[in-house]
Structure 1
Amino acid sequence: MHELGVTTAIIDQISDRLATMASPGAKVAAVRLEIGRLSGYTAESVRSCFELTATGTPLEGARLDVAEPPGRGTCQTCGQAVDLPDPLATCPGCGGTDLTVQDGQQLRVLAVELAADAEAGHPNATGSAPTG
């Protein structure tokens, strides 16, 4: 389950950023992730790992919101833009397999929302923090 490693890395990255951008003891209320359907990661597994690996961190108890954009690509045989439901999809127009993926492989943190008590009175606690 490679989701455990990537989820741990996400939690570590957010915790490190929180330590430099928010007041001591700040807690995370929510994390928004984008996990493309062609990324090789499943939202359900990341959710399970998140709950486990967030224990004892500022992210413990945080809500995890996950957007799952579909795969999109272009058929190099006929030039048609195609939806790619999975990595082994074929072009619905010509049946071609020479597809260039353009979207759906991403795994990224979109936003981090701090708990309301962490935001009060701290100029760097904006409610959401980029993590890239």
Structure 2
Amino acid sequence: MHELSLCRSLCRSLEEEVRQRGLNRVLRVELAVGSLSCVEPGALQFAFEAIGKPACLEGCTLGIHRVPGRARCRACGNCYALHDWLGDCPECGGQNRDIEGGDEVLIEQMEAC
């Protein structure tokens, strides 16, 4: 379950941010999780609740929202929603594409005091 190691990395990043900004604790963090990222939001939420967190993250809540996949067809230039890694261009049927979004896991917002 790579969500566990992802949560550990998230906690380290948040702890470092708290230290650098001279804050006391994180109250809430919002993540954007791309539908092509191979990260399961439910497993990520479970891992965040289950792992031991540093004191500055005790009581912190995690919000997760999905970001849809987006691609641009190299053959016809069409931009389209991509629901999985196997989707073809709906315009021309091409499979040669550039991923333009939906493969990320990003901290979008952090509420801290």
TM-score of the pair, normalised by structure 1: 0.77
- Partner Cα distance (2:54, 2:105) in 1: 24
Which entry has the higher C-alpha Rg, 1 or 2? 1
Q: CA deviation at 1:10?
A: 0.6
- Partner Cα distance (2:51, 2:20) in 1: 21
Partner of 1:17: 17
Counterpart contact for 1:30–1:113, Cα < 8 Å: yes
Q: Larger RCO: Structure 1 or Structure 2 (Cα < 8 Å, ≥ 6 residues apart)?
A: 2
- Partner Cα distance (2:70, 2:90) in 1: 13
2:41 pairs with 1:43: yes
Partner of 1:113: 111
**Structure 2 counterparts to residues 1-132 of structure 1, below 5 A:** 1-23=1-23, 26-114=24-112, 119=113
- Gap regions ≥5 residues in structure 1: 120-132
Which whole-Å deviations, capped at 9, do the CAs of 1:19-49 have from their partners, x for residues lacking one? Answer: 23234xx222100111111112121111111
- Partner Cα distance (1:84, 1:13) in 2: 29
Which whole-Å deviations, capped at 9, do the CAs of 1:60-115 have from their partners, x for residues lacking one? Answer: 2212111211011111122211110111111112221112111111111112111x
* Aligned length in residues: 113
Counterpart residue type for residue 33 of structure 1? L
- Partner Cα distance (2:101, 2:10) in 1: 21
Counterpart residue type for residue 100 of structure 1? D
Counterpart residue type for residue 68 of structure 1? R
- Gap regions ≥5 residues in structure 2: none
Counterpart residue type for residue 67 of structure 1? H
TM-score of the pair, normalised by structure 2: 0.88
Q: Percent identity?
A: 28
